[in-house]
Amino acid sequence: MNKETTQKQRDFIKKVYKKNGYYAWKDSGKYVHKTIAEKGIYHSNREKYPLPFSEYNIHHIDGDKLNNRIDNL
């Protein structure tokens, strides 16, 4: 196994699929797409987002709830 495969497997193990079609983290229950958006978009661009993170809706550009890449949120 290469490093990328191992990381994907670890990420999969940490996530659970919810009935509403989204992934959530096993340990916290928070939605994966919201965590990624908060850490990867919101915190790195605070000047663009003056409101608290909870005030923003996170949408999947391609409509795929399982595609949680930053460029799709």
The better pLDDT of the pair 6, 33 is held by 33
pTM of the model: 0.76
Q: How confident is the model at residue 7 (pLDDT cuts 50, 70, 90)?
A: low
Beta bridge partners of 17: 23
- Give yes or no for a contact between 65 and 22, defined as CB atoms under 8 angstroms apart: yes
In the predicted model, what is the mean pLDDT of residues 30-53?
A: 93
Q: How many domains is the chain partitioned into structurally?
A: 1
Domain that holds residue 62: 3-72
pLDDT in tens, 15-32: 898 999 999 999 889 999
pLDDT value for 13: 66
